Amino acid sequence: MSGIQPPATEPELLERGPFLDALTDYATDAAQGHGRLVLVAGEAGIGKTALVDAFRASRPDIAWLWGASDGGFTPRPLGPLHEIAARSGGRLRELFAAGANRNELFGEFLSLLASRASVTGVVVEDVHWADEATLDWLMFLSRRLGGVPALVLVTLRNDEPAPDSILPTLLGQLAGHGSTRRISLPPLTAEAVRRLAGQGARETERVHAMTGGNPFFVTEVLRFAPADVPPSVADLVRMRVQQHGADARRILAAAAVLGRPAPAPVIASVAGVPASALDECHRSGVLVADGLAFRFRHELTRLAVEESVPAYEATELHRAALAVLEREGGDHGSLAHHAERGGDGAALLRHALAAAAEAAAVGSNREAVGHYRSALPLLGGLTPEERAAAHDGLAEALSLRDHWAEAAEHWAESVAIRRELGDVEALSRALRRYGNCMWRLCRGEEHGRAMAESYALMVDRPASAEKALALYHFASTRTLEEAVPLFAEARRIGETSGDETVLPRVLMGDAFRDLQHGVLDYALLRRSLELGLRVGDDTLCAENYVNTYVNAVGSFRSAEFEWAWTEGMEFCRDHDMRTHSVCLRGSRVDALMREGRLAAAADLARSTLAEPISEVNELHLAIPAARVLLRLGEPEGRALLDRIWTLADGLGNAEWSVHAAVTAAEAAWLAQDLSLVDRHVLAAYDAHAGTDPWLHGELAAWLRRLERLPADDHAHAPAPYALEIRGDHAAAADAWHELGCPFEEAVALTWTGEPESMTRALEVFAGLGAAPAVRNLRTLLRQRGIHVPAQRGPRPTTAAHPAGLTAREAEVLGVLREGLTNAEIAQRLFLSQRTVDHHVSSILAKLGVSSRTEAAELAARL
């Protein structure tokens, strides 16, 4: 073998000039006040860090900040920002020490960047391992870099992400921000390998074939004589390690087990050997200095060393790491990791629970769930109150990740424990949270029972925050008439107590006191939101944005309350409120539909439905999605209608039953299938007259059009529904026109029965792409002997295709010929799988074939 070859300098950086030039351009942009966030992507070992390090070295004029995510174990919440704070000091480090919330931390970091006269460079490495809060921080930054002299370089692997990773979603969102740029590093060519190797063509080809041009692999292979090159990277690293002395090998094993950069005394203490042994590891280039700490030159090397450590030795090293880091004040996440690997159950329980609480506090809910799950088998060592609190914490973190069924199991555990403890307020609180899970799962009966029990526990007790919340949540299960006094009493308690954690929520409830008359107190909602923002109640604020926008859309005031959509979505992104983001997007689909932007509404509906969402969010989204798709004549619309009834029946809520009934009634006309107006629809109308009059009025209008509304029923609906119910369809059409709702305007024109109005309706429907409505109206015109205008042809791009496919359908068909699955087509064309499913169904129908194989064969002949 060739022996240890400590390179005097770093390997030459080849074929990276264009990427360094791009970084230079982005730094120039930053200097001009156009901040940039640059994603430096590539496979492991491709040279992302080498590129960034080379650029940093070339720009001493830039003040650099650096932080990295952990890859050895559950990442530390806001780990990179922690490192930056520790290195830079100042106000940011003080906020971390004081346990500040993440909003303060994010804001302070942005202020730090904005306050500097010259460019600040920020390097965030290995973001593919980052916790959720770190990803939220990067999202926060990317939207606010305009006008900030900052260059943020983010390195990440573009390998397949973990199944529960939100990184793909983040990257998609970042790509839409004006500050974001992306660099993808390719492998080295054979010529670059030849220059590095300084060898002949045959040997160069062999090295290039072995390594695929990966710079890390190339560099490691070239340390050995050609005949000595091992068959794998792991073997290669083990051979390098074996060339060290016994103490140095122990140092490398300890450094690998620690998993993070660490000072020499810490590594030596864990290894149990003199710190001087680290010099050999440094001279060989396996470990490199990183300030006062030492780390592996590359994570691939660390992983290979860690995997080569025998199990008994690894356990011993983890126990040593636990002892040393507890003494040195290590963070709870790393201590929990070492306790678990070292077999110390008591320490694991202690540190895992603390790490989970820390993660949850900054919104790293995925990491919180991981830590709580590590502690679950050991909860028997806690008091009943501590066990209940652990179940509460896990359930809360699961809820925020939309894992409602599992969350319900842990809330149920908490309820059972608290029944035995006899703490009435704690039991009421657990019941409310369990009930909320039942609501999210569309299990309305269980939701109602939980809220009723919480109310029964608290109703006769003295005024308190928990009593106010029990009243508020119980009121949400009652009719509007029954809820009004409950909301009022909850508000009285909140205002009297001065408890700012309770008052904004009960104010939000009281804003609905006159909804049965079509009036929502938006001013009170705004006051509730402002209080919630002040006290940092993220869930309350997100709910407030949702309630404001949902009701504004439902009463056709979406333009007036556009701020609730834009501010609400930004808030949900910044605070990882995914559940509420889905609710907002559901109402956005509804708003786009009302505006006549059916294609945009369908795209948003399909992309959101493709995400993992709770049952109640699915219902909230499926209703406008079904209506949009039914208006467009898409086959998924009818399937969604069946799903809507299943979810609405499970929820047992008046409002959602009426929503489902409206969808069914409209579908009945579009499909010319009056059987859809069944007992469910009529029962919803009869039983729920006390719901929002805008909603109930829409159902009444559809039943009047379909001749299912009793003649003497003059529902107190707001205009323009009231005009239609009275038979004044022309005036209703004018009212819809004023509200900017073209589909509804055309529906009203259709029912006037006047040829000119009906012809105008046909033009509107055709312009919207509402094919079923066009078909129905053309048939009606012919039946009445009214001249039917010639049907407009398809769009030019569609007409140009021999089979009448749209441009996107033609693109999908071209890929389908390669034999790809729908999932693979979706990945290739950057579409959701649901969208591809829709396109493939449409293609088969237009081609008149029944299988993908037939479609591919026919496409070859077109």
Specify the pTM.
0.79
**491: phi then psi, degrees, rounded to nearest 5:** -65, -40
What's the rounded Cα separation, in Å, for the pair 176 and 607?
16
What's the rounded Cα separation, in Å, for the pair 147 and 114?
8
Closest listed residue to residue 166, CA positions, set 827, 616, 612: 612
Q: What is the pLDDT of residue 229?
A: 55
For residues 604 and 647, state if they share a domain: yes
Q: Confidence band (pLDDT; 50, 70, 90) for 715?
A: low
Q: Return the CA Rg of the chain.
A: 32
Final residue of a structural domain among 669, 695, 717: 717
Contact 337, 73 (CB under 8 A): yes
Q: What is the mean pLDDT of residues 599-619?
A: 92
Count structural domains, the chain. 5
Q: What is the mean pLDDT of residues 421-427?
A: 94
Contact 102, 132 (CB under 8 A): no
Residue 360 lies in a domain: no
Structure tokens at 668: 């009945």
What's the rounded Cα separation, in Å, for the pair 582 and 19?
38
Closest listed residue to residue 407, CA positions, set 430, 374, 386, 375: 430
Contact 57, 66 (CB under 8 A): no
For residues 756 and 674, state if they share a domain: no
Q: What is the mean pLDDT of residues 595-609?
A: 93
Sign of CA dihedral 339, 341, 345, 351: positive
Q: What is the pLDDT of residue 9?
A: 40
Residue 143 lies in a domain: yes
Highest-scoring range by mean pLDDT, 695-699, 771-775, 782-786, 791-795: 771-775
Final residue of a structural domain among 757, 792, 827: 792
For residues 55 and 148, state if they share a domain: yes
What's the rounded Cα separation, in Å, for the pair 16 and 41?
13
For residues 712 and 758, state if they share a domain: no
Residue 311 lies in a domain: no
Domain interval for residue 581: 547-651
Q: Confidence band (pLDDT; 50, 70, 90) for 824?
A: low
Share of the chain above pLDDT 70, in %: 90
CA distances (Å), origin 829, targets 43, 98, 158, 800, 858: 21, 47, 17, 22, 22
For residues 38 and 148, state if they share a domain: yes
Q: Confidence band (pLDDT; 50, 70, 90) for 160?
A: low
Contact 444, 650 (CB under 8 A): yes
For residues 31 and 155, state if they share a domain: yes
CA distances (Å), origin 323, targets 210, 330, 334, 827: 42, 10, 12, 47
What's the rounded Cα separation, in Å, for the pair 510 and 527?
12
CA 188 to chain centre: 35
Q: What is the mean pLDDT of residues 264-269?
A: 97
pLDDT in tens, 725-773: 999 999 999 999 999 999 999 999 999 999 999 999 999 999 999 999 9
CATH number at 52 reads 3.40.50.300
Place of tokens 């529960």: 164
Contact 699, 680 (CB under 8 A): no
Closest listed residue to residue 337, CA positions, set 360, 315, 304: 315
Which residues have C-beta within 8 Å of that of residue 732, sequence separation ≥ 6?
719, 720, 721, 723, 724, 748
Residue 305 lies in a domain: no
CA distances (Å), origin 779, targets 270, 775, 785, 832: 83, 6, 10, 36
For residues 93 and 143, state if they share a domain: yes
Q: Residue 639: enclosing H or E segment and its boundaries?
A: helix 636-651
Residue 9 lies in a domain: no
Residue 473 lies in a domain: no
Q: Confidence band (pLDDT; 50, 70, 90) for 862?
A: low
Q: Confidence band (pLDDT; 50, 70, 90) for 4?
A: very low
What's the rounded Cα separation, in Å, for the pair 468 and 220?
66
Q: Which amino acid is at 504?
A: P
Q: Is the pLDDT of residue 797 over 60?
A: no
Residues in the chain, overall count: 862
Identify the weakest region by mean pLDDT among 2-11, 49-58, 217-226, 357-366: 2-11
Q: What is the mean pLDDT of residues 100-118?
A: 92
Q: Longest Cα pair distance anywhere in the chain, in angstroms?
A: 101
Q: Confidence band (pLDDT; 50, 70, 90) for 164?
A: low
CA 712 to chain centre: 50
Which residues have C-beta within 8 Å of that of residue 169, sequence separation ≥ 6?
none
Residue 371 lies in a domain: no
Closest listed residue to residue 520, CA positions, set 562, 565, 480, 551: 551
pLDDT in tens, 486-528: 989 999 998 888 788 888 988 888 888 777 667 789 999 999 9
What are the DSSP E strand ranges found in 266-359?
287-290, 293-296
Residue 128 lies in a domain: yes
What's the rounded Cα separation, in Å, for the pair 315 and 104?
39
Q: What is the pLDDT of residue 706?
A: 93
Sign of CA dihedral 243, 246, 250, 255: negative
Share of the chain above pLDDT 90, in %: 61
Contact 652, 443 (CB under 8 A): no
Show the CA angle centred on residue 820, arms to residues 818 and 826, nearest 5°. 120
For residues 748 and 704, state if they share a domain: no
Looking only at the bridges linking them, the beta strands covering 63-68 and 120-125 are parallel
What's the rounded Cα separation, in Å, for the pair 357 and 336?
13
Contact 192, 213 (CB under 8 A): yes
CATH number at 603 reads 1.25.40
For residues 28 and 139, state if they share a domain: yes
**183: phi then psi, degrees, rounded to nearest 5:** -125, 125
Final residue of a structural domain among 747, 768, 792: 792
DSSP structure class, residue 6: -
Q: Which amino acid is at 382?
A: L
For residues 744 and 807, state if they share a domain: no
What is the chain's percent helix, strand, coil content, to nearest 5? 65, 5, 30
Q: What is the mean pLDDT of residues 629-636?
A: 94
Arithmetic mean of pLDDT over the chain: 88
Structure tokens at 692: 């929002």
For residues 772 and 808, state if they share a domain: no
For residues 89 and 144, state if they share a domain: yes
